[in-house]
Amino acid sequence: MYQFRKELKTVACFLWLLSLVTTVVAQAQLTDRLPVDPAVRIGKLDNGLTYYIRQNKKPEQKVELRLALNAGSIVEDNDQLGLAHMAEHMAFNGTKNFRKNEIVSFLQDIGVGFGSDLNAYTGFEETVYMLPIPTDKPDNLEKGFQVLEDWAHQVTYLDEDIESERAIILEESRLGKGAQDRMFKQIYPKLFAGSKYAQRLPIGSDSIIRNFKPDVIRRLYKDWYRPNLMAVVVVGDIEPDLALSMIRKHFSGMVNPANERKREMVGIPAYTASEALIITDKEATSYMVNVNYPIKPALPQNTVGDYRNSLLRQLFTSMLNQRLQELTQQPNPPFVAAGSGFGNFIRRHENFRAYAAVGTGDIQRALDAVIEEIERARRFGFTLPELERAKKSAIMGMERMYNNRDKTESELFVDEYVRNFLSGEPIPGIAKEYSLYTEQVPFISLDEVNAVVKQLTADTNRLVYVTGPENNGTAKLPQPADLLATISAREKSAIQPYVEKLVATSLLKTKPIAGKIISRKEDKAMGVTNLVLSNGVTVTLKSTDFKNDQVLMGATRPGGKNYYGVADKYNAEYAVPVVSAMGVGEFSPTDLRKMLAGKTVSVSPIISDVSDGFKGNSGNKDIETMFQLIHLYVTMPRKDTALFRSFVQRNKSQYAALGSNPQTAFIDTMFSVMYNKDPRAPIAVPKSAYFDQVNLDRSLAIYKERVGDASGMHFAFVGSFSIDSILPLLETYLGSLPSSGKKFVPKDNGVRPVKGSRTLMVNKGKEQKSLILSFFNGEIPYSEDLELKAQALSEILNIRIIEEFREKIQGIYGGGLYASVEKYPYSNYSLVLQLPCGPEKVDTLLKATKHEFNEIITRGPQASYLDKVKKQWLEAYKTSMKENGTWLNEILEQQSIKSDPKYFLQYEQLVQKLTVKDVQATAKVLLNGKNQFTAVLMPEHVEKAAPGTKAF
């Protein structure tokens, strides 16, 4: 016995020494620099331009191009406010090789949509141009690189192009105006602690945009658009050597200015004291309280140790946010929602911040609750079960990305490389990151994570600000000093440690009694397997290799809210949200999140106007969990009166002041008039009073009627599973669902928009902002052919809207026409025109709309427009056919409306057959003007232009 003990002691000593050595080795490895993914080629041209190249064949025959400029609004001189952003616009308005609008037209001709694919943005520190290029034709790539080169140093800046773009920039600026903009303009000087950033918002100054001399923007372009501030990023289906040769061809000739301006880095001074602000606005809809801890230089991200520190903060934030989420489950929750995290308002700077969305609730109570959770974490730390759940979730997310590593879309890579150039974000590659996660996360200790909150609260200087509605007399707004006092009092008060609640370890206590598959048929055209289960539930399975670790689920059946009258309107409308707020089986929503930690799975029931069903997804390892959740949502919705009261209270608070927003109030009024005040009309704007009319028992009963009976339900599963492996799960969890055998059919409840030609004018809002919403609708026999032609009509008109309404009339920044043709609840069509604009342009745009519609009815569209639409559609089709979501949606649509598969499988041929006459004939039917409802929002007071003011 002594000898055994001696040997055991020796082994223990050896293991201790081994752990010590391992720890020393691990600590040494933390100093290793993070590598760069070997799959990406990075280099510099002699002129200083940086390039990134990666070959990636998802999607095939497509290359993502980016031009990233390390200069944004922060480099503007005082007479250039807003011109960095305008310079981005000017790149589309004429270059050496493309006259005004030719770039957009060329790209549309090869299937690239303006706005949806082709785009750009300007931030404080950078300007980035995005250009996806289809490579099925060799010339496309060459022209794509030529566009990129022209943007980099060959924008023409003709006087007439500059003058015409001013109005479009002002329209974009107009879109952002309103309560949030007015409130944050008072906050920025405090948020950025008096730094230059407060005066360099990318949208700039309207007065400068109106009045600057053309040479002022040319000066900005000359100073900052230079190769040593640029990166060209090329990712996609292209040979790297070819990409490099094209970069050299198009960018080696660029030359930096002889006396180049220094790209200075602007800092943000630390807060010297705590400060609180309360900013209100008559048009604000809810209160938000924000706590900003000091903005500091961002921690480096160069070594393994730096990476590990970021993991510590990720775990800390995840656990704190889970606690904040739990507070929303109280019967009288302190806030509608809350969260926290580390972020960077400005590059190279970061801070910790927390917020609470209060609705119209008690601001100080919400702030107190947030600070209490932060203080609880500081004093007592987190619990081991919380950390284990956070670790599981972190590893699970990274594991899934690793599993899909060879099926990652080029767009994700290209954006990552842009961030590496601009901010130094590490790009070790998914294989290395997964290795770091599996090496580091399991060994992160509770003490390490708990130390994070102590570090971030060491500096007590904070900026606290509240935004929200003006005091309307029903609630007393606190004073700024009250906010600081609330924080101080909570940080000194007695607080109890967090109590971890035990949660069941399995979703179902016992497995249900399985049903049987009674029919199996293969549909070779669709490549699917169709099954019938013994309880009448039907299933379609499609196994794909689009992703290595993704399973999508959907279910549908006729039914829906239309089965319920006015007395049950809100009980039916909120049946699913009520159940989601209470949970399923033995699990509240909080308990369910804990139970599912580390799993990739989601299931949600759906009750629409005319159907019942589900949507969901899972990873390969969690398919059975997805099936169990479906079973629980059908058979065991949970009744919890306390959580129901919490749901009601949160929503009442959230929506109580929604009508203060001018556009929201306008839309609410518009729907009321458009449906002739029919109480059964769809809900456009939720109101606080609606939730007082929700009865828990009745809402739950409606849920069970719609979801609790699986009769006629059709499920579809698409993704990375084998057919044989999923069959037993279908029998066990779907074959056992209760089924009455009842026949469900779509129901038309008779609700219709008003007929004839109607106009509504609403005056609301302080800003000089208008909105035109025009509806063209009617009843018509449904066909997929008509649906295709209606979409073509709307897309052609959208090209015209950009060309005429934006570029020529200069009345809008964005807007468009949206078409739908529906079979249920009744066969109908609807075209909706949306045009945000200034009040002075309303009449002009309405006349222009009438003119465009008349032109396409009487003459039809030009063939070139139809060709552009076809090419964009066919490019999108090639990509979407290799996405699980596309196939899931098609399978469900074939079930729900009995659509013809040929409109999916033979889409390319059907698109190619579309003619100008088809579109013209469709316009004659859909734009006949018999049922046209036009609503216009105007400001409360329309301002007249001052004498001498430029008109745009």
- Residues 807-833: what's their mean pLDDT? 96
Q: Which pLDDT band holds residue 236 (cuts at 50, 70, 90)?
A: very high
Given this model, what pLDDT does residue 115 score? 66
Contact 148, 65 (CB under 8 A): yes
Q: Is the pLDDT of residue 36 over 50?
A: yes
Q: Is the peptide bond before 334 cis (omega within 30 degrees of 0)?
A: no
The rounded percent of the chain whose pLDDT value lies above 90 is 87
How far is it, in rounded angstroms, from Cα 890 to Cα 872?
Answer: 20
CA distance 412 to 419: 11
Contacts of 794 (CB under 8 A, 6+ apart): 816, 817, 818, 819, 831
C-alpha span between 28 and 351 (Å, rounded)? 28
Query: Is-contact 193 349, C-beta < 8 A?
Result: no
- The per-residue pLDDT for range 513-534, each reduced to its tens digit, is 999 999 999 999 999 999 999 9
Whether the Cβ atoms of residue 553 and residue 601 lie closer than 8 Å to each other: no
Distance CA 432, CA 443 (A): 17
Query: Per residue in 262-319, pLDDT tens?
Result: 998 888 888 889 999 999 999 999 999 999 998 888 888 899 999 999 999 999 999 9
Residue 373: how many CB atoms within 10 A of its CB?
A: 21
CB-based contacts of 789, cutoff 8 Å, min separation 6: 914, 918, 919, 921, 922
907-948 residue pLDDT tens:
999 999 999 999 999 999 999 889 999 999 999 999 876 544
Record the tokens describing residue 219, joined without a space.
């000066």
Q: What are phi and psi of 218, to 5 degrees?
A: -65, -35
In the sheet that holds 119-122, the strands lie side by side as 41-44, 50-55, 230-236, 62-69, 127-134, 119-122
pLDDT exceeds 80 at position 127: yes
Confidence at 688, pLDDT banded by 50, 70, 90: very high
Q: What average pLDDT does the segment 228-253 reach?
A: 98
β-strand 275-281 against 349-359: which pairing, if any? unpaired
Calculate the dihedral angle through the C-alpha atoms of 360, 362, 363, 365, rounding to the nearest 10 degrees. Answer: -150
The mean pLDDT of the chain is: 93
Label residue 29 exposed, middle or buried (CB < 10 Å: 0-12, 13-18, 19+).
middle
Rounded Cα–Cα distance for residues 939 and 837 (Å): 11
Whether the predicted pLDDT of 23 surpasses 80: no
Query: 686 near 577, Cβ under 8 Å?
Result: no
Asked whether 789 and 796 are in contact (CB, 8 A), the reply is no
**Closest C-alpha among 468, 480, 473 to residue 281:** 468
The residue assigned the tokens 């007479």 is 79
- Contact at 8 Å (CB) between 591 and 507? no
- DSSP letters of 143-198? HHHHHHHHHHH-B---HHHHHHHHHHHHHHHHHT-SHHHHHHHHHHHHHTTT-GGG
3-class state of residue 661 by DSSP: coil
Across the range 693-703, mean pLDDT stands at 98
| Alpha carbon distance, N-terminus to C-terminus of the chain | 98
Q: Average the pLDDT over 762-769 and give the result.
A: 97
Nearest to 713 by CA among 731, 739, 746, 733: 739
Residue of 335, 250, 274 whose CA lies nearest to 483: 274
Strand order in the sheet with 816-822: 757-763, 932-938, 770-779, 828-837, 816-822
| CB neighbours of residue 717 within 10 Å | 29
For residue 475, what pLDDT band results from cuts at 50, 70 and 90? low
Q: How far apart are CA 686 and CA 866, in angstroms?
A: 40
CB distance 341 to 321 below 8 Å: yes
Element (H, E) at 528: strand 528-533
CA of 665: how far to CAs of 469, 842, 937, in Å? 15, 19, 10
What is the average per-residue pLDDT within 616-625? Answer: 98
Cis? peptide before 480, omega within 30° of 0: no
Alpha helices (runs of H) in 91-137, residue ranges in sequence order: 102-109
pLDDT of 501 strictly over 50: yes
Greatest CA separation found in the chain?
Answer: 106
840 DSSP assignment: G
**Residue 70 near residue 76, CB atoms below 8 Å:** no
Q: Is the dihedral of CA 317, 319, 320, 326 positive or negative?
A: positive
Please count the other Cβ atoms lying within 10 Å of the Cβ belonging to residue 682: 11
Give the separation between CA 568 and CA 258, rounded to whole angstroms.
Answer: 74
Name the band, by pLDDT with cuts 50, 70 and 90, for residue 6. Answer: very low
Using a pLDDT cut of 70, give the percent of the chain over it. 96
- Residue 817, SS3 per DSSP: strand
User: How many Å is the Cα radius of gyration of the chain?
Assistant: 30
Which one, of 434, 364, 428, 374, lies nearest residue 398 by Cα?
Answer: 434
Instruction: Please state the separation of Cα 57 from the chain's center in Å.
Output: 25
pLDDT > 80? residue 145: yes
CA–CA gap between residue 104 and residue 108 (Å, rounded): 6
Which residue(s) pair with 532 in the sheet?
519, 538
> For 401-425, what is the mean pLDDT?
96
Q: Would you give the distance in Å from CA 289 to the centre of its chain?
A: 23
d(CA 924, CA 910): 21
CA–CA dist 932, 758 (Å, integer): 6
pLDDT surpassing 80 at residue 25: no
How many angstroms separate the CA atoms of 798 and 815, rounded?
8
DSSP lists the bridge partners of residue 394 as none
Q: Which residues pair with 777 in a beta bridge?
A: 830
Q: Sign (positive/negative) of CA torsion 606, 607, 608, 610? A: positive
Q: Is 550 helix (H, G, I), strand (E, B) or coil?
A: coil
CA distances from 15 to 9, 11, 22, 597, 819 (A): 10, 6, 10, 32, 70
pLDDT digits (tens, 9 = 90+) for 779-794: 999 999 999 999 999 9
Dist CA 54 CA 414 (whole Å): 9
What is the number of residues in the chain?
952
- pLDDT(17) > 70: no
Given a contact cutoff of 8 angstroms between Cβ atoms, the answer to whether 903 and 782 are in contact is no
> pTM, whole model, 2 decimals?
0.93
CA distance 237 to 244: 14
